[in-house]
Structure 1
């Protein structure tokens, strides 16, 4: 915090912007992975022992969270590539 103007200093502002940019890149990667997981058949209800309509309605949430967990575990590198490309555009 800048004591004179009582506003966040430049490094704090840049750090928050970088964090927000990295979070957005991770969400984009998670969305991409979720779509790929759906295309691979993850989240489809099984014929036997299916969970009924509730399982069908909430399976997309499970797939999205599994994709987020994959990103937090390192993902496929898409978030890092997006982040770096967006940082280059800022310069």
Structure 2
């Protein structure tokens, strides 16, 4: 029989029950995303202040182009730092967001 479905012909993955996503899980995911974005913005501001005093002229400087694109560089560096674990700010912010929502 072509096209007949039985337990023997079905994939084992189709037979397992998938976990149901609850509203609390969605809130936790959104809280984590918001906390990571907050940490990334914080780090970008901190890196921006750190790079503010660096002279862009000289033999290896980027000149006016470096000044223009420095904010993009600091944003990208901050996002990568956050992905790599950051400074722990996202965990604290997420915990506080969930506490305000009544979740722990």
Q: What TM-score do the two structures reach when normalised by structure 1?
A: 0.76
Question: Tell me, which stretches of 5 or more residues in structure 1 are unaligned?
Answer: 1-8
**Runs of at least 4 residues off by over 4 Å:** 42-45
Q: Distance in 1 between matches of 2:66 and 2:53?
A: 9
Deviation string, structure 1 residues 25-78 (Cα, Å, up to 9, x no partner): 111111111111122226945321322322211110110110111111111110
Question: Tell me, which stretches of 5 or more residues in structure 2 are unaligned?
Answer: 1-19
Q: Which of the two has greater helix per residue?
A: 1
Of 25, 37, 40, the residue aligned with 1:15 is 25
Larger radius of gyration: 2
Mapping 1:10-89, distance limit 5 Å: 11=22, 13-41=23-51, 44-48=54-58, 49-89=60-100
Aligned to 1:40, what secondary structure does the other structure show?
helix
> Are the counterparts in 2 of residues 43 and 62 from structure 1 also a CA contact under 8 Å?
no
Q: What TM-score do the two structures reach when normalised by structure 2?
A: 0.67
Alignment size in residue pairs: 82
